[in-house]
Amino acid sequence: MSDTPDPKPSRSHRSQRFRRVPLRLIVPNMVTLLALCSGLTAVRMAFEGRWEFAVGAVLVAAVLDGLDGRVARMMKGTSRFGAELDSLSDFVNFGVTPALMLYLWILKDAGNLGWIAGLIFAISAALRLARFNVALDDPNRPVWASRFFTGVPAPAGALTVLLPLYLDFLGLFPHWFADAAFVAAYTIVIAFLLISRLPTYSGKTLGTRVRRDYVLPLFVFAVLIVALTVSYPFRMLAGGAVLYLLTIPFSWRAHRKLLLADASLGLEDDGDESDTDLDNIGDRDKDHGG
């Protein structure tokens, strides 16, 4: 009897090779790829000096980035491949693209300082995304931690770092605000906010449960926001960026209160009634932020 292996692949091997991929796994990744295409298109628009379209493309990429994860969870199509693709897409859309846009717009006038500022922002975005992926595997995170990000998230950082561009197009500040050295310093500040330990609101718990009488007003409000953003993009983006930066102290305060509450509950835990109190708090957290 010959020990020579059969050159023909087995039927089971061929069936695994040509196995069909469920559509529920493809759709979320297609949304991610559309976001990546939008981010890369923003780079092209910046090279052509079409800043309105460049900013709009980054905004579209941010919207699609917020949708792909929700679509994956809704269709039960989450996968490790999708998570890795999403991280790579976020790095390009919200790390490389804003840095190139700012450099092409004004940072190039600052020479090496402008290029260094763009590098720091892009690298900070990569580090921030890597830290976020590692934090997902932390088993010791409290339930309420899902309400906060550690540092400014990459999409918010991308839209916030472009604030000088918005204001310059609106003509709301003196010429010195659009100075290349000032914009470079501002870019570095936002970069450090990306990799900082400051807690910022995640917004993941918003819209998970909406009262029935709030549904129609919520639709009207969403349409109003979209209409205003399309009609007055730079005004809305500038106002949104400023408001977001102003929320950081409030998110830090809310995060600190929850930390102190956890610490006090840990000190009071004697194995009796306080355990029930802790369970009740966990249930409330699941209702509001799970």
| Per-residue tokens: 153 | 């998230």
Residue 275 lies in a domain: no
Expressed in angstroms, the distance from the first to the final Cα of the chain is 62
pLDDT of residue 49: 92
Residue 153 lies in a domain: yes
Q: Cα(93)–Cα(63) distance, rounded to whole angstroms?
A: 11
pLDDT surpassing 90 at residue 41: yes
Residue 14 lies in a domain: no
The four Cα atoms 125, 237, 49, 43 give a dihedral, to 10 degrees, of: 30
Among left, alpha and beta (phi > 0; psi -120 to 50; other), residue 171 is: left
CATH number at residue 139: 1.20.120.1760
Residue 1 lies in a domain: no
**Any residues with CB less than 8 A from the CB of 234 and at least 6 apart, and which?**
52, 55, 166, 169, 170
Least confident of 9-13, 120-124, 132-136: 9-13
Residue 132 lies in a domain: yes
The four Cα atoms 140, 145, 148, 151 give a dihedral, to 10 degrees, of: -20
Query: Is 114:185 a contact under the CB 8 Å cutoff?
Result: no
How many domains does the structure of the chain reveal? 1
pLDDT surpassing 60 at residue 269: no
pLDDT tens, 220-265? Answer: 988 999 899 888 989 999 999 999 999 999 999 988 888 887 777 6
Q: Cα(181)–Cα(52) distance, rounded to whole angstroms?
A: 23
Residue 194 lies in a domain: yes
Residue 157 lies in a domain: yes
**Any residues with CB less than 8 A from the CB of 32 and at least 6 apart, and which?**
64, 65, 68, 82, 85, 86, 89
pLDDT tens, 173-210? Answer: 666 556 888 999 999 999 999 999 999 988 765 655 67
Domain that holds residue 233: 21-265+281-289
**Any residues with CB less than 8 A from the CB of 39 and at least 6 apart, and which?**
57, 58, 61, 89, 92, 93, 94, 97
Query: Is 156:244 a contact under the CB 8 Å cutoff?
Result: yes
Residue 8 lies in a domain: no
